[in-house]
């Protein structure tokens, strides 16, 4: 193994535990990984099931949804081609590209 900049750096197989300075056992490391994964999943679930529904009741969010609905834009569209306005936008871009071929960098 090549020398590192720090002579006191532990070998790759050692992971220093912050509590006692000794190496973390495989079981403890695995528990920490599972705990971190569980915490991340719990945080996503709280956001999805509690925070986002509360935010959807905010007047600013409701106004944005009304504006999008009035223009025929589907915010949950997976692809831009699912949006009805995309044909007009594509046509405007093609006209712009014909008038100014070097305006948008396209090889």
Q: Give the helix/strand (H/E) hosting 21.
A: none
> CA–CA distance from 50 to each of 57, 68, 92 (Å)?
12, 24, 41
Q: Distance (Å, rounded) from C-alpha 75 to C-alpha 87? A: 16
Cβ proximity of 23 and 17 under 8 Å? yes
Sequential pLDDT tens for the chain (107 residues): 455 555 565 555 545 555 666 666 788 899 999 999 999 999 999 999 999 999 999 999 999 989 988 887 777 776 766 667 778 888 998 998 888 888 777 65
């Amino acid at each position: 193994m090549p020398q590192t900049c720090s002579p006191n750096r532990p070998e790759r197989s050692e992971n220093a535990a912050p509590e006692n300075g000794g190496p973390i056992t495989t079981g403890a490391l695995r528990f920490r990984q599972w705990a971190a994964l569980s915490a991340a999943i719990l945080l996503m679930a709280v956001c999805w099931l509690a925070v986002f529904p509360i935010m959807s009741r905010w007047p600013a969010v409701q106004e944005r949804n009304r504006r999008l609905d009035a223009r025929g834009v589907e915010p949950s569209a997976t692809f831009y081609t699912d949006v009805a306005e995309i044909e007009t936008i594509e046509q405007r871009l093609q006209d712009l590209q014909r008038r100014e071929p070097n305006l948008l960098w396209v090889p």
